[in-house]
Amino acid sequence: MQDNRPNSGQSIFGGNIQVGGNITVGNITQNYRSSEANQSAMQPDNRPSKRTILTMASSPVNEARLRLDKEVREIKTVLRLAKHGANFSLQQREAVRPDDLQDALLDVEPEIVHFGGHGMGEDGLALENELGKTQLVSTDALARLFKLLNSHVQCVVLNACYSEVQAETISKHIEYVIGMKQAIGDEAAINFSKGFYRALGNGKSFEEAFEFGCNAIDLESLPDYLTPVLKKKTD
């Protein structure tokens, strides 16, 4: 029996198969590209990268214990459920010491930096030493660090008591900085984070997300909804 099927080097219309260029069938000429080229066109190499959040937690053993693990878990949950949550990448650092700050920030290069822990007002933020006890980092030292990172850090969240003074100083170099003007309860701090990142994950701006964070505290009938403050960089 004669096999009338076209061989692998011929088109069903006669002639040789082309991988790219023009193909003529009857009086119709059509330009086409290979499937690989079309796939490349649909998935360009210049797709935007994810927006990175770096969470840094510090709860020294000689200070009141904070539910920082729950806070990070709630942030992950609201981003997972948000419409655009897949556009965010969350990186974590725990038991943060002063020396860890540069390492983490240079390694991750985040757009958003979230600190969860204790603030000491004018004395600075409470990180940990080698024994897990309090080691303060001054406001000015933090501001000078973020000045070096303002090419990629757009927002800093200081979810710590009495951190307004740090927020004010850091905002000289970073576009948006959130601090707390007085002590804030653990549940209120967690609810602020939920509202803030839920809003970001649904396409809201930093300013809008701040308002959603405050409202998330208010909706739970907690008294701290006026405690968070947003500082914006002024040129």
| 12 or 79, greater pLDDT | 79
The predicted structure's pLDDT at residue 28: 45
Specify the residue for token string 């701040």. 210
Q: Across the chain, how many H-helices and E-strands are there?
A: 7, 10
pLDDT band for position 180 (cuts 50, 70, 90): very high
Is the pLDDT assigned to residue 17 strictly greater than 50? Answer: no
What's the mean per-residue pLDDT of the chain? Answer: 85
Query: What are the residues facing 30 on neighbouring strands?
Result: 23
Residue-wise pLDDT tens digits, 33-89:
444 444 433 344 444 579 999 999 998 988 877 888 899 999 999 999 999 999 999
Provide, rounded to the nearest whole percent, the portion of the chain with pLDDT above 70. 79
Of 58-72, 86-100, 130-144, which range is least confident? 58-72
| 161 or 65, greater pLDDT | 161
Task: State the Cα–Cα distance between residues 31 and 46, nearest whole angstrom.
Answer: 25
**Residue among 173, 154, 61, 87 at smallest CA distance from 114:** 154
51-232: CATH architecture: 3-Layer(aba) Sandwich (3.40)
Task: State the Cα–Cα distance between residues 158 and 229, nearest whole angstrom.
Answer: 10
The predicted structure's pLDDT at residue 48: 52
What pTM, to 2 d.p., does this model score?
0.79
Cα 119 to chain centroid, rounded: 22
**Residue among 200, 205, 232, 207 at smallest CA distance from 89:** 200
Is the pLDDT assigned to residue 213 strictly greater than 50? Answer: yes
Q: How is the chain split among helix, strand and coil, in percent rounded to 5?
A: 35, 25, 40
* Mean pLDDT along residues 169-182: 98
Give a three-class secondary structure readout of 70-84. Answer: HHHHHHHHHHHHCCC
How big is the chain by its Cα radius of gyration, in Å? 27
Give the phi and the psi of residue 98 in degrees, each rounded to 5. -55, -40
Give the phi and the psi of residue 31 in degrees, each rounded to 5. -90, 135
Tokens of 109: 């290069």
* Pair 121, 179: CB distance under 8 Å: no
Domain ranges for the chain: 1-43, 51-232
H or E element that contains 179: strand 176-180
The predicted structure's pLDDT at residue 92: 95
Task: State the Cα–Cα distance between residues 140 and 39, nearest whole angstrom.
Answer: 51
* Mean pLDDT along residues 95-123: 96
